[in-house]
Amino acid sequence: MKFDPTDLLCVNTIRTLSIDMVGKANSGHPGLPLGAAPLAYSVWAGHLKFTPSDPAWFDRDRFILSAGHGSAMLYSMLHLYGYGLTMEDLKKFRQLDSLTPGHPEYGHTAGVETTTGPLGQGFANSVGLALAEKLMAEKLNTPEFRLVDHFTYVLVGDGDLMEGVAYEASSFAGHNKLGKLICLYDSNGITIEGSTGLAFTEDVKKRFLAQDWQVLEVEDGNSLEEIDSAIRKAKRETEKPSIIIARTHIGWASPKQDNCAVHGEPLKPEEILATKARLGWPSTEPFFVPEEARARFSEQAAAGEKDRKRWFKLWKKYGETMPEKADLAKAMLGRDIPENLFKPDNSFFDKPMATREASGKVINLMAAALPGLTGGSADLAGSTKTDFAKEPARTLHFGIREHAMGAIVNGMALHGGLIPFGATFLVFSDYMRPALRLAALMKVPSVFVFTHDSIGLGEDGPTHQPVEHLMSLRLIPGLLVLRPADAWETLHAWEAAVRLKRPACLALSRQKLPLYTQYREKIAEGVKRGAYLLRGPSTVPALELIATGSEVSLAFEAAAILA
């Protein structure tokens, strides 16, 4: 792509709007927008497939700002590209109930692909997005029709790459050859406490090479030409994910350039004016957008609309040429759940069994009817019973990476078209808590299967016995926690998990539990309400016994003794 002075004007428009937003709020992070604006602009102006008229268009490219503290930059771009953010919205940055909150929030602001801020999470989400693209392309594309064909771009900072979840996720991405994942690393050598040399001296290039990534370097993070060339090379590499290490300057052009103070402290009014003067900015007025820049942003957005129209023509021809595949695509994208899927006859479960085993049967019952159902475990498939017996290719192997697994599942759920799940022992939900919490904040339909849910797990002892975990999960607002008492309740817990568009956890037993087939109808209705009465007297009882999961059978035994 050839860049001209208007492109530089566009970059500086993003920069100045961002520092004006932070300045007006007297709160925020001016350092990243000033330093990383050329990276973001290069992606959006020359490579990103997007259209503001349809922010959720399925085959758009995804852009993730993992370094979510730089949200002012993203909001500036969403305003300039016409995503519906007004200038008044920018002026309400970081204010209660505004469309421009302190960190990007999925479902709140059009154009925000995932909630970011907790560092490393956006990077791991991007791995899930790229994995979903790859899985759906394998299922739906043909040599003639590339129905699923988009890239995932993620902008990260030093802090993102220090987080353990990023190590787990980048290892997974390299192993799975996610060639359409492109990471732009805003490498400015500064964190809140000072130089990254205080705590982060590893060779990032060697680390990613060791994880089977393509590593590209941009020496001048202000050079649109250098950045554009690196992105083009990244797009040509189809077998490896790519990371572009760009040497940037935090707080570029400000009096606090390369100073840790510019990370999270607003620039003073005189510092904002000095920054604009160094940038050669044509106006001292806050929130000024030159007409040439606004016109250029509009042109680029219009080009994306052409991409969208071409895709819908392809979709129409796809449906006419191969109707069966088109029906499959519609079922996946529409998340179609057959009405009678969860109504097998009473012989489906015919003996006492652990609810983890019942869950395995249900997964394989659903598999044929739900083509988007995809998942696996953190190296525990034999224990969590999460294998697809007839279609092993649908079984994901997350490796021993619980934290990344949670965030990757969230990314897959955000992508659309799949019903993703990840599984491990309940005690290891601790390793996934940030991802669980973000799933709840975003209301994404991620499913988390947690087995070995009590001290009945066996001989592993207290390190593996989940005592406080159910209570801690139920403390997370918006997270549906289901702990079925028998195989039938497991069936209906899975039904709730795939029908309700919200994150759900299934806590399942290792030990065998009796069947309550005689109460099957009560259980089916009770799961919908969250609690139900299995047995009770006609008069007001002197004592009520309340239990969940494997303790329900114990409560029955206790009731018999008390009676």
The domain 355-556 having CATH identifier 3.40.50.2300: the answer here is no
- pLDDT average, residue stretch 515-524: 96
Cβ contact 208:243 at 8 Å:
yes
Long-range contacts of 192-199 (CB under 8 A, 24+ apart): 192/260, 192/263, 192/264, 193/260, 194/260, 195/260, 196/158, 199/162
**Measured between alpha carbons, how far is 490 from 358 in angstroms, rounded to an integer?**
7
Among candidate residues 330, 355, 385, the one with its CA nearest the CA of residue 491: 355
Q: Which of 265, 357, 402, 489 is catalytic?
A: 402
Look over the chain and give the mean of its residue pLDDT values, rounded to a whole number.
Answer: 97
pLDDT-wise least confident of 295-299, 334-338, 470-474 = 334-338
- pLDDT average, residue stretch 548-554: 96
* Whether pLDDT at 539 is above 90: no
Residues 35, 39, 44: CA angle, nearest 5 degrees: 135
pLDDT tens string 343-388: 999 999 999 999 999 999 999 999 999 999 999 999 999 999 999 9
Cβ contact 447:506 at 8 Å:
yes
Coil, strand or helix at 373:
strand
Cβ contact 7:70 at 8 Å:
no
Q: How confident is the model at residue 537 (pLDDT cuts 50, 70, 90)?
A: confident
Q: What is the torsional sign of CA 153, 158, 164, 170?
A: positive
Tokens of 204: 């990032």
Mind spelling out the 3-state secondary structure of 291-357? Answer: HHHHHHHHHHHHHHHHHHHHHHHHHHHHHHHCHHHHHHHHHHHHCCCCCCCCCCCCCCCCCCECHHH
Coil, strand or helix at 213:
coil
Burial 275-287 (b: 16+ CB within 10 A, else e): bbeebebeeeebb
Percent of all residues in the chain with a pLDDT value above 90, rounded to a whole number: 96
SS3 content of the chain, % helix, strand, coil (to 5): 50, 10, 40
Coil, strand or helix at 546:
coil
Burial 251-266 (b: 16+ CB within 10 A, else e): bbbbbbbbebebbebb
pLDDT tens string 380-422: 999 999 999 999 999 999 999 999 999 999 999 999 999 999 9
339 catalytic residue (yes or no) = no
- pLDDT average, residue stretch 112-139: 98
Cβ contact 388:394 at 8 Å:
yes
Q: Which helix (H) or strand (E) holds 184?
A: strand 181-187
Tokens of 51: 């259209």
pLDDT tens string 458-495: 889 999 999 999 999 999 999 999 999 999 999 999 99
**HSE-up of 67 (CA within 13 Å, CB side)?**
32
Burial class (CB in 10 A: 0-12, 13-18, 19+), 491: buried
**Measured between alpha carbons, how far is 251 from 256 in angstroms, rounded to an integer?**
6
* Whether pLDDT at 542 is above 90: no
Cβ contact 414:125 at 8 Å:
yes
Q: How confident is the model at residue 13 (pLDDT cuts 50, 70, 90)?
A: very high
- pLDDT average, residue stretch 419-429: 98
The per-residue pLDDT for 538 is: 75
Q: How confident is the model at residue 536 (pLDDT cuts 50, 70, 90)?
A: confident
CATH of domain 5-306: 3.40.50.970
Q: How confident is the model at residue 99 (pLDDT cuts 50, 70, 90)?
A: very high
Give the start-to-end residue ranges of the domains of the chain: 5-306, 355-556
Q: How confident is the model at residue 535 (pLDDT cuts 50, 70, 90)?
A: confident
For the full predicted model, state whether its pTM sits above 0.95.
Answer: yes
Coil, strand or helix at 181:
strand
Residue 270 CB: number of other CB atoms within 10 A?
Answer: 9
CA 263 to chain centre: 25
**Measured between alpha carbons, how far is 328 from 501 in angstroms, rounded to an integer?**
20
Query: Helices H, strands E: what count in the chain?
Result: 21, 13
Cβ contact 30:255 at 8 Å:
no
Tokens of 268: 């003073």
The per-residue pLDDT for 167 is: 98
The per-residue pLDDT for 563 is: 85
Q: How confident is the model at residue 283 (pLDDT cuts 50, 70, 90)?
A: very high
CA distances to 183, 258, 408 from 39, rounded to whole Å, are 11, 17, 24
pLDDT tens string 51-73: 999 999 999 999 999 999 999 99
Please spell the DSSP secondary structure of 71-135, one letter per residue.
Answer: HHHHHHHHHHTTSS--HHHHHTTT-TT-SS-SS--TTTSTT--S---STTHHHHHHHHHHHHHHH
Residue 167 CB: number of other CB atoms within 10 A?
Answer: 18
Among candidate residues 276, 347, 263, the one with its CA nearest the CA of residue 35: 263
* Whether pLDDT at 193 is above 90: yes
Q: Which residue has the tokens 């996946």?
A: 332
- pLDDT average, residue stretch 534-552: 90
Are 5-306 and 355-556 equal in CATH topology? yes
Among candidate residues 406, 443, 444, 445, the one with its CA nearest the CA of residue 424: 406
**Measured between alpha carbons, how far is 99 from 89 in angstroms, rounded to an integer?**
6
- pLDDT average, residue stretch 423-444: 98
CA 365 to chain centre: 27
36 Cβ contact partners less than 8 Å away, ≥ 6 residues apart: 67, 70, 73, 155, 157, 186, 221, 248
236 Cβ contact partners less than 8 Å away, ≥ 6 residues apart: none
**Measured between alpha carbons, how far is 421 from 408 in angstroms, rounded to an integer?**
10
Tokens of 82: 């016409």
